[in-house]
Homo-oligomer: A and B are copies of this chain.
């Protein structure tokens, strides 16, 4: 990554969220995002495949970290506890980016094609969790079902975190949401 200016990805993402909020997602071009960040269009495309991807900047790394943490969790942890611990380990990073996450959420909610991309990312997250569960000796269908419901609990926690007027941490909302999942499963 040495040939790119330090922090280029973060600057592009911040510029994109600013511009999408100011003048709308459709009306903002990649050239304008690059200009606002003080970078070239070419640098943008070195980091992101298209305009949509600038709103999912760290998803691959996030998914890789979750996969690794689930695989490395203590053997005595239940599948859901292992996934909860993996999500919780990444939650400080999100808490430091709460405002930008909130603006990003508003943009995603307003655009069908962005929500489609988000669903694809969440499906990839679920597949990574299912893979990691298989390395723990949990086989299908349990791996896929557990991974799918884990992603649903994660999305619930994330939505509550962004909507919370008290600004409780994402870690707090993760624990609450996984508790809700346990309670809900007992009614099935």
Contact = CB atoms under 8 A, between A and B. Distances in A.
A183 B146 CA distance: 11
A185 B149 CA distance: 10
B146 A79 contact: no
Interface string A149-188: 1001100100000000000000000000100111111011
Main secondary structure of the interface of A (DSSP, over half): helix
A188 B180 contact: no
Nearest to A120: B116
Integer count of this chain's copies in the complex = 2
A141 B177 contact: yes
Nearest to A119: B119
Contacts of A183: 142
Interface string A110-152: 0000001001100100000000000000100110111011001
Contact of A152 (B80, B145, B182): B145
Nearest to A156: B141
A48 to B, nearest CB: 18
B184 A188 contact: no
Contact of A184 (B119, B142, B180, B182): B142
Contacts of A152: 144-145, 148-149
A96 interface: no
Contacts of A142: 180, 183-184, 187
19 contacts: A78-B187, A78-B188, A79-B187, A80-B188, A116-B116, A116-B119, A119-B123, A141-B180, A141-B181, A144-B152, A144-B156, A145-B152, A145-B181, A145-B184, A146-B184, A148-B148, A148-B149, A149-B149, A149-B152
